[in-house]
Amino acid sequence: MIRGDTAAVRWWRLRPWSANPLMRGSDRLEAVAVVLLIAILLLLVPVAGVIGTASYAQLTERSHQQVIEARQVPAIVLDDDPDDVAVRDPLSESPSRLGPVLARWEVEGVEHTGLVGLDSRGETGETVRIRVDEKGDYMPAPRTGTENAIAALGAALAFLVLETVGCVVTLLGIHGVMNRHRISQWHREWQDARQLPGWPIG
């Protein structure tokens, strides 16, 4: 019984520096491309780690900055269920655990109205405390350390997945081009072989 070679053995036989005389130039070129793309994929792992670390540091710094810049002011809840209110939702980047409510507040004599997120459910007419920036605009609650870590991990994984897909697509493209080249070369050699003396014509 003849045992089949393992995948590792078959891949090793396709190495670019193989002395196998049956390997064509296109085979070696494709093997070089595979080696290079594998090396690139291995390098992408630490790069993704750097991106995740930098993203976490940036998000943490932003959260700290929001804590420093924010101040609390009283606001009156105008509508605790503003599903049909055509007001831009300022919570799109950092949504509150509770649904937003429509509120009105005043900062340095300027009245503001908008959707705000509360730590607890506020009833219509109730006075609550909200965070605002230097201009008096509502400021969502800063991200927590866990939320920053999850966002940074997502950024690193997204980079790694996109680059891996790019490498795989590139490899498939190279394989397709090399296959067409090999088929064309085999066709030419087959035509040349039919013209040799003694080749039956039929």
DSSP, res 20: -
In a domain, 101, yes or no: yes
Supply the range of the domain harboring residue 87.
Answer: 71-141
In a domain, 86, yes or no: yes
In a domain, 15, yes or no: no
In a domain, 176, yes or no: no
Tens of pLDDT along the chain (202 residues) come to 445 556 555 555 555 555 565 566 666 777 778 888 888 989 999 999 999 999 999 999 988 888 888 888 888 888 766 554 444 444 444 444 456 888 888 888 888 888 888 766 667 788 888 888 888 888 888 888 899 999 999 999 999 999 999 988 988 888 788 777 777 777 776 766 666 555 555 4
- b (16+ CB within 10 A) / e for 173-193: ebeeebeeeeeeeeeeeeeee
**Nearest in space to 140 (alpha carbons), one of 193, 93, 200, 197:** 93
Rounded distance between C-alpha atoms, residue 30 and residue 14, angstroms:
9
In a domain, 122, yes or no: yes
Give the containing element (helix H, strand E) for 83. Answer: none
In a domain, 31, yes or no: no
Rounded distance between C-alpha atoms, residue 124 and residue 140, angstroms:
20
Number of domains into which the chain is organized: 1
In a domain, 162, yes or no: no
In a domain, 112, yes or no: yes
